[in-house]
Structures are given as structure tokens and as C-alpha cells.
Amino acid sequence: MSKGVLVIARNNKNIDYVKQAIFLAKNVSKYLNLPTSIITDNANYVTEHFDPTVFDKIISIEYDDAMNSRSFYDGGLASKSDNFKNSSRSVVYDLTPYDETLLLDSDFVINNDMFLKCFESNQDLLLYKDSCELSNTRNTKEFTYISDTGCEFYWATCVFFRKSSVNKIYFNLIKHIQDEWNHYRRLYQIQSNLFRNDFAFSIAIHIMNGFSKGNFFGEMPGKLIYITDQDILWEKQDDKMTFLVAKKDYLGEYYAISTKGTSVHVMNKFSLGRIIDEELLNEG
């Protein structure tokens, strides 16, 4: 059975997801000793600006500029509005070159080998349900249920899946939900019209479980640890990272917090970009 990590990178005007994917692939190689393949709509950019050998396979998809606009924050005081190109996650089942795939967001910083446990699991589909926000000051209700009256929330940030007939049905269902997003967001009473993969994956689980809770999927090992884009990744040295997490009700003020040997989903893509630039510079 072939095993590997899959990452999607589709740049917009402000965020270089390909650079994040390069950084992720290096960490995957270091901590998990697994190959990483990239799905991108600009393969030329990968080969012309970076060392493409960090990737096992470069999988091209069609360039699509359909607008799905949202704000990207860089700490509490700065933000930019740009296109959120998140419509390709549903096709990963068809595009993955692996029998066992760990699908990761490009802004996930790996600092340990915890994800290797996924490949030991007897469940063919694993997602995170439980999460831990580093600042511990925000209301995380939005990461418990997809809406006040909706189903439970599951993260599409890290998904482990094996090729199986049932998983094929699941990913095809996600495509259908994405195609009919306006219908499903009303059905599940989601107020924002922004398409979010977390919601589509959660709704699909709810449907696959017979519109109830059940054992259609298993939970990823541990909790998903994250900072929001209103927090800042300040420094990274090997597996130690220092963050500035926003003080509640004090805009622009932060507490410092550090982690060591802990993998973290860094939603502040600008601060992650700065750290990656430093690392690439140090590598020469």
C-alpha cells in the first residue's frame, strides 16, 4: 500500500501557498519520512521558483479565478481581502497518487511524528473533531457545531483516508454539496455564504452517518492545535515555536506562548510566510 501526504496550493495575490507547501513537504520528510505530492494550478511556478524535488508528484489542476472572497488577518490590526481558492479539496480522492493519504493544509506546521499513527488505524477515514486554540480566550463554539441548529463540526484541515468504495461515495458527496452549496448552507442554517470545506466535510459526515452521530469515521490522534489569523507566529527554531496570541478585548495586545515538539495549524498565513522566508534564507 502506497502512503503519502497530499497538499493543495493555489496562490492568490497576497498569499504564496506554494511556498507553504514546500515548507510543509520538508517537515513531512523530516518528521514523518513520507513523500509529499502537491496539487496546484500553477505547476510552472513550483518548478521555476523552488526545488521541485521536494515533491513526489506535482499534480496540475485547471486555473480557476472564481471569487470566494474573505479577509485574511495578520494579527489583530491588519487584514487584506483576497480570493479564498478552496474549491479543490473535494477532488483529492480522485487525484491522490496514494492508497493511504494524509491530506494537510499547507499552513500546518509539523513538529512531531504523531500523524504516523493514522497509518496504523483500522479506520479508513480519520478527521479531527476536537481542537485546542492556543490563546484559550476565544469562544470556539463555531468549531463545535457548524451552526446553532446544525450538525457537529469536523476539521477538513487534516484528513486521513484510504482508497475504498465507501470513501469514494463520501468524497463524491462532498463534491455534490459543493455544487449545491446554497441549498445545503440554507438546509443547515449556515449564515455565511462563503464556502468552507470544514462545513462540507461535516455535512457529508452527518449524511453518511444517517443524519445522526455514528462511526462512519474515526478521530485523528490527539487534538488539532491551532492559532487564528489574529494571532502571530513570531519565531521558529527547530521544533520550538513562539507565538503572540491576542489578548481578549485588547485589540493589538498579545500574550507570548511557546510550544516544543507540537504541530500547529497556523492560520495567520502572513506570519507563517515571514517565518518560512527566514528559514529559506538560512538554508541559503
Partner 1 sequence: MDERLEKALEFSNFMVTFNNQKRVLKEKYSQDLIYYYVGAQFTVTKELINFCYTLLSSDNTEAIILDDNDLPIQISNLQEFHTNILDIYFTASNEYFNKYVALKKHRSVQGLVEINV
Q: Which residues form the interface with partner 1 (CB under 8 A)? A: 112, 114, 117, 120-123, 132, 134-136, 215, 218-219, 221-223, 225, 240, 242, 245, 255-262
Q: Which is nearer to partner 1, 97 or 261 (CB)?
A: 261
Q: Which is nearer to partner 1, 1 or 67 (CB)?
A: 1
Q: With beta carbons less than 8 A apart as the criterion, state whether 219 and 205 touch.
A: no
Determine how β-strand 100-104 pairs with β-strand 155-162: antiparallel
Q: Which is nearer to partner 1, 257 or 280 (CB)?
A: 257
Q: Which is nearer to partner 1, 150 or 221 (CB)?
A: 221
Rounded least distance, CB 240 to partner 1, Å = 7
Pull the grid cell for residue 134: 492556543
Q: Which is nearer to partner 1, 50 or 221 (CB)?
A: 221
Rounded least distance, CB 131 to partner 1, Å = 10
Give the integer Cα–Cα distance in Å for 177 and 186.
Answer: 12
Residue in 228, 233, 272 with CA at minimum distance from that of residue 135: 228
Rounded least distance, CB 133 to partner 1, Å = 10
Rounded least distance, CB 2 to partner 1, Å = 18
Q: Which is nearer to partner 1, 195 or 226 (CB)?
A: 226
Rounded least distance, CB 214 to partner 1, Å = 10
DSSP 220: P
Q: Which is nearer to partner 1, 20 or 157 (CB)?
A: 157
Rounded least distance, CB 27 to partner 1, Å = 17
Rounded least distance, CB 137 to partner 1, Å = 9
